[in-house]
Structure 1
Amino acid sequence: MSNLADRIEEYLKKVIEQTNEGFIVLQRGYLADFFSCAPSQINYVLTTRFTAERGYLVESRRGGGGYLRIVRLGLDPEGKFQRLMAELIGDDLSQERASNLIDRLKEEEIFTQREALLIKTIFSDRLLSGLVNCPSHLRARLMKEILANMCRDDIDA
């Protein structure tokens, strides 16, 4: 049986998939009661599994009328995608964040399974740490370049 965090994640993703709006609004207390856990467990799932790299934006308001809004970020073909990715990536990209982003792009079918595996291998700390002083800078630059080329329409097959 999967652990509690996995079950919470799976539940939230299923609820998001069932909406036409692309987002859900829930109360942290309701989720904690539903899963018989502390609200901090809900926070843990949201902060580790519903990140921008994984394709989600979480808005939260605490207190009596508090809520959680989880928005599934869409990837559009009009160039907003590259701007979003550039903002998301920034000047530094850790191996973990890169891996999450690659998984998301594989989910969106921008990368194939094979491409995702190759890029993750190239981006590994094990490989980059011995080659450059700041692997996170190089990883960010490489990811931006890869994405710019992956999204071009004029690539010859």
Structure 2
Amino acid sequence: MRNISDIIEQYLKHILHESEEKVVEIQRNDLADQFNCVPSQINYVISTRFTLEKGYLVQSKRGGGGYIRIQKVMFPSNSSLQNHIFQTIGQQIDQSAAEGLIYQLEDTGMINTSEANLFRAAIARDVLTLKLPLRDEIRAKILKAMLISLISK
């Protein structure tokens, strides 16, 4: 059985998908009432599952008419994908940011689940048993090489 965080995440992704602008505005308390949970549960889901690394921009406005706006960031077209990869990865990348990029590529259908799992295995910190910052530099080189090879086919 799925937990409440998974259910809230799927609900938000569904309404984002249905939105023409790929934007949704919610009121935290209303959503908490809808799912019979505390408002901090909504905060947790948004802060952990709707991050920039995963392809989402989150803005919030506090106060009486406050809201949380979640926007799906559109991934660049294939022609600018290589540039985006080099800018995102840079000379080094930590595991969290690398996994976020892999998630974004998988979520947009640019890579399939098997490819995503292969990427995750290749860049995992327990595989790259090197000291920082060398580990993040090697991870960046491996990730760039794999992605460029994949999108060049």
Question: Which range, TM-score by smaller chain?
Answer: 0.7 to 0.9
1:76 correspondence with 2:76:
yes
Cα deviation digits, residues 78-129 of structure 1 (max 9, x gap): 6554555455445543323322321321222222333222211110111112
1:138 correspondence with 2:138:
yes
Question: Is the deviation greater in 134-143 or in 8-17?
Answer: 134-143
Match for residue 105 of structure 1? 105
Deviation of 1:137 after TM superposition, in Å, equals 2.9
- Percent identity over the alignment? 37
Q: Over aligned residue pairs, what C-alpha RMSD do you find?
A: 2.5
Deviation of 1:132 after TM superposition, in Å, equals 7.0
1:118 correspondence with 2:118:
yes
Separation (CA, whole Å) in 1 of partners of 2:19 and 2:127:
42
Cα deviation digits, residues 31-65 of structure 1 (max 9, x gap): 12211222211111011101122221111112212
Unaligned runs of 5+ in 2: none
Match for residue 3 of structure 2? 3
Secondary structure (helix, strand or coil) at the match of 2:106 reads helix
Secondary structure (helix, strand or coil) at the match of 1:127 reads coil
Separation (CA, whole Å) in 1 of partners of 2:92 and 2:60:
26
CA contact (8 A) 1:22 1:71 kept: yes
Match for residue 42 of structure 1? 42
Question: Is the deviation greater in 109-118 or in 45-54?
Answer: 109-118
Match for residue 15 of structure 1? 15
Secondary structure (helix, strand or coil) at the match of 2:25 reads strand
Separation (CA, whole Å) in 2 of partners of 1:82 and 1:57:
22
Deviation of 1:74 after TM superposition, in Å, equals 1.3
Cα 1:110/1:3, change in 2 over 3 Å: same
Match for residue 128 of structure 2? 128
Unaligned runs of 5+ in 1: none
CA contact (8 A) 1:52 1:88 kept: no
Aligned residues: 153
Match for residue 60 of structure 1? 60
Letter in 2 for 1:123: I
Secondary structure (helix, strand or coil) at the match of 1:128 reads coil
Deviation of 1:70 after TM superposition, in Å, equals 0.6
Secondary structure (helix, strand or coil) at the match of 2:53 reads coil
Separation (CA, whole Å) in 2 of partners of 1:140 and 1:63:
41
Secondary structure (helix, strand or coil) at the match of 1:125 reads coil
